[in-house]
Amino acid sequence: MGEQLQFRVSSALKNIIGRDLITDDYIAVFELVKNSYDAHAKEVEIIFKEDSLVIRDNGKGMNYNDLINKWLFVAYSAKHEGIEDSDLDTSNVVNFRDKIQKQQVFAGSKGIGRFSCDRLGKELVLTTRSVNPDSHIEQLEINWQDFENNPKNDFVSVNVSHSNPNSFDFLDSQCGTVLEFKGLRSPWPRPKKQELKHSLEKLINPFSANEKSRIEENFSIIIEAQEEYEADKKEKLNRNKVNGPVKNILFEKLKLKTTQILMEVEPGGEYVHTSLIDRDIPIYNIKEKNDSSPELKNIRYQLFYLNRSAKLNFSKIMGMNVVDYGSVFLYKNGFRVYPFGEPGEDVLGIDKRKAQGWMRRLGTRDIIGRIEISDDSDFFRETSSRDGGLIENAHYDELTKMFHSCLKRLENYVVDLQWQLEKDHFNEVLKLEDTTISEKIISIIAKLTNSTNLVDFEYNAQLFQIINRDL
């Protein structure tokens, strides 16, 4: 055997796994917020100062060993290894976190999120304190430009300053992590701060029935920008105020005014449950064998048809047209995956499909909703470029196949009923007493009973009572 050689790593690697992958300031913030959640934080604050940006959380923090063997270990992810919390000692800490039990899934796991810091500022001061007993305040100071001076320098030869401050605001009496970005790479005027808040509204899945993903109840995001307080007082809509907690109230308001379909694949993957509700009236519930996509498990699809009433209600609540908000979002383990749902994006081929049947299919202007994935098996992996969506593999193909099945069932109801009956298309209330409407709904339901995979079926009994009454 000949001489054994090793790769060398240029300091230019920093850009390849940093700014070249994290191409958007908003996505950079998202990655750091997800890291705070994974650190069991209850709260993360995004603080704008005159010449810097601060992101701080009250999570478990880090000790010296964590900094050396995790944070400074490029591309390594203890989350992916399944040992992220293995050395966490909360035996002497009272009520640290109710959710500190072993976390089933993590929002991030590639080990590159820390390089989001390079996207935001030329310099980073990281200050942290671990929840472990007898921990000390640890601080790193990183000048990202040191990695850019000479690409012939080895990555590992670039020094990072470490110290142990005696005290530090916010960490003197508790654990957590503070990231301060100096030399901001781009300005943050008021419209950009507002857009950050609006984007963060869509970061966390706000309408999940899955306990693992019900994040908003245990995790809050707060934005603070003192220079925006006066301008905030003039805003009529709370969501346009920069300062304050980030909230998403959309779907609670929308679902009572329109038609929605919910399709869920059981955690075991054996059965699929589908239910359709039209303007707050249950129409049908179906249970079927999952023979077409047996490897899909713990997936949830929910789509809302945007009739005229729903669009007007949306604009009234949000202060914007629904087309400018987005369409079908995708959430993995409770956090959004980009670019699904972004205005102008058609990752799922919804508009492409509509173009093939304009008068019988729904497009991104007609629907809003989400796909929710609970995945601890890594079947659905995000691309390294954080705005690139999911890696397209066999599981992704099955995911999109079932999505289109869900969309088709919504279309069958909306197109065959509401679009055929112009008067119903504009009604805010479903009038079951109208015999024509009831007969059409029964016809739609009858087609569903032909499925060979059907296990159980429920329908609105009032439909048949109306038909029998008029016979």
Q: What is the pLDDT of residue 270?
A: 92
Q: What is the pLDDT of residue 356?
A: 84
209 three-state secondary structure:
coil
Distance CA 378, CA 92 (A): 34
pTM for the whole structure = 0.84
Q: What is the pLDDT of residue 123?
A: 94
Q: Other C-beta atoms within 10 Å of 4: how many?
A: 5
Distance CA 145, CA 156 (A): 14
CA within 13 Å, CB half, 128:
25
The pLDDT tens digits along the chain (471 residues) read 689 888 888 888 877 777 777 878 998 999 899 899 888 899 999 999 989 999 999 999 999 999 998 898 887 565 555 555 556 665 555 455 554 444 555 555 555 677 788 899 999 999 999 998 888 999 999 998 888 888 888 888 889 999 999 989 888 778 999 999 999 999 999 999 999 999 998 888 765 444 444 555 678 999 999 999 999 999 988 889 999 999 876 565 555 578 999 999 998 889 999 999 988 889 899 999 998 788 888 999 999 998 888 888 888 888 888 889 999 999 988 888 988 999 988 999 999 988 887 778 999 999 999 999 987 777 888 887 766 788 888 889 999 999 999 999 999 998 888 877 766 666 777 777 777 888 888 888 888 877 788 888 888 877 766 545 544
Q: Other C-beta atoms within 10 Å of 50: how many?
A: 6
Single-letter code of the amino acid located at 239: R
Q: What is the pLDDT of residue 463?
A: 73
CA within 13 Å, CB half, 425:
11
Which residue do the tokens 């024509």 mark? 436
Would you give the distance in Å from CA 2 to the centre of its chain? 50
Q: What structural domains and CATH numbers belong to the chain? A: 13-248 (3.30.565.10), 251-470 (no CATH)
Q: What is the pLDDT of residue 209?
A: 43
Q: What is the pLDDT of residue 121?
A: 93
Q: Other C-beta atoms within 10 Å of 84: how many?
A: 21
Quick one: which of 187, 188, 317 has its CA closest to 249?
317
